[in-house]
Amino acid sequence: MAKFNHRAGIFYQRDRCPLALAVVYAKLAQTGGYMEADFVIIGSGSAGSAMAARLSEDGQYSVIVLEYGGSDSGPFIQMPGALSYPMNMPLYDWGYRSEPEPHLGGRQLACPRGKVIGGSSSINGMVYVRGHAGDYDHWVQSGAEGWSYADVLPYFLRMENWHESGQGGDPDWRGKSGPLHITRGKRDIPLHQAFVEAGRQAGFEVTKDYNGAQQEGFCAMEQTVWRGRRWSAANAYLKPALKRPNLTLHKCLARRIVLKDGRAIGVEVSKGQNISVIRARREVIVAASAINSPKLLLLSGIGPAAQLTQLGIEVQADRPGVGQNLQDHLELYIQQACLQPITLYKYWNFFGKLRVGLEWLINKSGPGASNAFESCAFLRSKPGVRYPDIQYHFLPIAVRYDGRAASEGHGFQAHVGPMRSASRGSVTLRSRDPNDDPKILFNYMSDPQDWSDFRHCIRLTRKIFGQSAFDPFRGKEIQPGASVQSDAELDGFIREHVESAYHPCGTCKMGRTEDPMAVVDSECRVIGVDALRVVDSSIFPRIPNGNLNGPSIMVGEKGADHILGKQPLPKDNRAPWINPRWESSDR
């Protein structure tokens, strides 16, 4: 007969463990002296929350989730319209910044990562994108067997709870009963329709659902918002699962993975001044983000041997790829003044924000109930590109992620950037102290193609904003400004103004065991170490199209099946739409 002490986090068999001894263990656990479970998950973010729910689902195994951050209950997190606040608050964000970027004039760019229940899904922009089928087929070509689009589509369908909203969609390609609610905004500001119509006028595709059969084109954008609230991985997966007696959430800092004879047996953690070990009977699973997952492996002696030896860390497994292959999406804000006072700028004052906040608090409605990203586009940059490599987010206000609005007043903007940069960076240790931030160097814009790609994005956006659909609204160009035209002038603007889209990934790459730069195999097992997996966005061989919350949750869903030894869901071999003119035209 099995029993689980929820507070202690100890699972035991009465026929194997005398009750008196179990009580002693429970008391030790409550004082921080001893905790154990079948699975210990480091991180409660997008993948970690999904795994916690799936691994504890049938009650067979005990699971402990380790999370350093605190509660996600605050209105700045739960109100979608307040998204610019939590990602700039030390209470919720690790506050990482890149090293001076050599190709951006030494600028240090922000790299927010969630330090809160739900991880980065609790501070992100709530945009939902699966990624293109071609992204996952490329993963297979990179050595991630079993991760083609046909393999991962069933997991997207399993996790989605997609809601028809009168804004279009492709219901045959969408999941309807999963834990992750996906909706579309009201699009009641006419600029959203103008953006899509301008794309049509410029000759591009319009798609009814970029997460359905056809990603390419202009479309309404989808968000992980439900009934006016942020629908994070914590709300979707973790909080419901925590009602189970075999799942425990433990607040602590994971310092390193404890290894014995080449096997992960637990996690060394600190809580205040106390350091203890939480033991894993079956496996340790790292789901701490593309920044903190490689940091933990390196602190544990798993990584490039020379780097570890230099820091005085005993080498447990020489894996040169740990912390390498760092990727991200960069974007520019192309801003245009608006001639009509219809943008969200009318709320960008004390009384406007108060009104929005009160409406949301009382009714979970109004502008605060949406992330405001309600129209978008996925386009191809030139003939010969088989599937989209440019993403647009459209926003009916001229504002930055840090909440600073354009001084010109009413405006609108497109966030635009190429999706498949060849630039690669790294995450390395600053020291062997777990409390020190890692060194993050994205090496942005290090590939010459990045510059021509971004110049194309600027010029293309100007053409779209120049279509007749925007005639009633279009004022002067705020940024870059009409005088910025030559390649050199555009490059200067890019160097000074390009920003991260906050999509870091790739630092524990999934690949073939014989690949020296691979960190995990196709079942997310760390190569060279037993009973240890990494399951989060750090395992992406190459960054997928769009925002990474959806793919990260999918990885958690699929990773859980691998951990449990389940047969993967049957493949879905439907062929997605590819533009028949892709070889001869960009539209």
Q: What is the DSSP string of 497-529?
A: H-EE-S--B-TT-B--TT-TT--B-TTSBBTT-
Question: What mean pLDDT comes out for the span 174-186?
Answer: 97
pLDDT digits over 421-449, tens only?
Answer: 999 999 999 999 999 999 999 999 999 99
pLDDT score of 21 more than 60 = no
pLDDT computed for residue 167 by the predictor: 81
pLDDT digits over 496-542, tens only?
Answer: 999 999 999 999 999 999 999 999 999 999 999 999 999 999 999 99
Question: What mean pLDDT comes out for the span 334-348?
Answer: 96
Neighbour-count burial for 264-287, b at 16+ CB within 10 Å, e otherwise? bbbbbbbeeeeebbbbbebbbbbb
pLDDT computed for residue 347 by the predictor: 94
Does residue 503 carry a catalytic annotation?
yes
The pLDDT-based confidence of 402 (bands split at 50, 70, 90) is low
Query: Are 284 and 304 spatial neighbours (Cβ–Cβ below 8 Å)?
Result: no
Q: What are 505's strand-pairing partners?
A: 327
Strand order in the sheet with 222-223: 160-162, 180-184, 222-223
From the list 118, 113, 112, the residue with the least C-alpha distance to 43 is 118
Query: Which of 59-68, 81-90, 320-329, 456-465 is predicted least confidently?
Result: 81-90
Q: What are 479's strand-pairing partners?
A: 335
Q: Is 125 marked as binding a ligand?
A: yes
pLDDT computed for residue 405 by the predictor: 65
From the list 413, 392, 393, 402, the residue with the least C-alpha distance to 344 is 413
pLDDT score of 18 more than 80 = no
d(CA 539, CA 552) in angstroms, rounded, equals 10
pLDDT score of 23 more than 70 = no
Name the residue type at position 517. Answer: M
Q: What is the mean pLDDT of the chain?
A: 93
Pairing of strands 222-223, 180-184: antiparallel
d(CA 51, CA 40) in angstroms, rounded, equals 11
d(CA 473, CA 558) in angstroms, rounded, equals 46
Query: Are 309 and 316 spatial neighbours (Cβ–Cβ below 8 Å)?
Result: no
Q: Is 371 marked as binding a ligand?
A: no
pLDDT digits over 272-314, tens only?
Answer: 999 999 999 999 999 999 999 999 999 999 999 999 999 999 9
Share of the chain above pLDDT 70, in %: 93
Question: What mean pLDDT comes out for the span 69-79?
Answer: 95
Question: What mean pLDDT comes out for the span 95-118?
Answer: 97
Instruction: Choose the catalytic residue: 132, 138, 503, 562.
Output: 503
Query: Are 187 and 196 spatial neighbours (Cβ–Cβ below 8 Å)?
Result: no
From the list 545, 501, 508, the residue with the least C-alpha distance to 525 is 508
Q: Is 69 marked as binding a ligand?
A: no
Contacts for 144 with CB less than 8 Å, ≥ 6 apart: 510, 511, 522, 541
pLDDT computed for residue 32 by the predictor: 47
pLDDT computed for residue 400 by the predictor: 73
Share of the chain above pLDDT 90, in %: 91
pLDDT digits over 478-492, tens only?
Answer: 999 999 999 999 999
Evaluate the CA torsion angle 281, 298, 312, 110 in order and state its sign.
Answer: negative
Query: Are 367 and 81 spatial neighbours (Cβ–Cβ below 8 Å)?
Result: yes
pTM for the model: 0.93
Can you read off the two tokens belonging to residue 95? 């506050």
pLDDT score of 29 more than 60 = no
Q: Is 89 marked as binding a ligand?
A: no
pLDDT score of 586 more than 50 = yes
Question: What mean pLDDT comes out for the span 208-213?
Answer: 97
Packing angle, helices 549-563 and 46-55, rounded to 10? 30
Q: Is 274 marked as binding a ligand?
A: no
